[in-house]
Amino acid sequence: MDSKKHILTSKGMAALEEELQELKVVKRKEIAQKIKEAREQGDLSENAEYDAAKDEQRSIETRIEELEKIIKNSEVISEDNMDHTVVNIGSTVRFLDLEFNEEIEYHIVGSTESDILKGYISNESPLGAALIGSKVGEIIEVEGPDGIARFEILNIMRPEY
């Protein structure tokens, strides 16, 4: 059993609960209808639609089970009581890459919510872990594949939910 405690922002928890509700209420009903229609076509041994619908049903049920475990084993970080003078999970942080003189902004989240394309990095990633606890004006160092990268913290912002 998955005993890992998942750290989530309130926005992340709401998204997981919404996805779970959608799967249970809408997708289960849709897949049941697909299976019913495929059964009505007759011989199930050579029915590709039936096989595809059953595969989709297994996939949905697996995701429902996964979401229920994550939600059950989650700790939601309260952004209201957060110290916004230091980087925490839930903070949005803007920093300067000192090598490339480029400003970067990321939202620090738990690993369940991380999505680099949306600007959400995990507190468990090397960069996320280095940012946690830092303050505006501090310079942090992160070891990467190309050596050590240095970043200066420019701003720590409260999440906008």
pLDDT tens for 31-54 read 999 999 888 887 777 778 888 999
In the 8-state DSSP scheme, what is residue 86? B
Domain covering 92-157 in this structure, CATH number: 3.10.50.30
Residues recorded for the chain? 161
- Token pair 């738990």: residue: 110
Sheet of 147-157, strand order = 120-122, 102-109, 92-97, 147-157, 139-144
Mean pLDDT (the chain) is 90
Q: Is the pLDDT of residue 159 over 70?
A: no
What ranges do the domains of the chain cover? 6-77, 92-157
Report the share of the chain in percent with pLDDT over 70: 94
CA distances from 145 to 33, 96, 142, 149 (A): 50, 19, 10, 10
Residue 150's pLDDT is: 97
CA 61 to chain centre: 20
Would you say the pTM of this structure is higher than 0.85? Answer: no
73: number of CA atoms within 13 Å, CB side? 14
Residue 1's pLDDT is: 44
Contact between 98 and 117 (Cβ < 8 Å): no
Q: How confident is the model at residue 146 (pLDDT cuts 50, 70, 90)?
A: confident
CA–CA separation, 155 and 137 (whole Å): 8
Q: How confident is the model at residue 161 (pLDDT cuts 50, 70, 90)?
A: very low
Q: Is the pLDDT of residue 68 over 50?
A: yes
Say which CATH topology domain 6-77 has: Helix Hairpins (1.10.287)
Q: How confident is the model at residue 3 (pLDDT cuts 50, 70, 90)?
A: low
Q: Is the pLDDT of residue 55 over 60?
A: yes
71: number of CA atoms within 13 Å, CB side? 16
Instruction: Average the pLDDT over 91-102 and give the result.
Output: 95
CA–CA separation, 89 and 133 (whole Å): 10
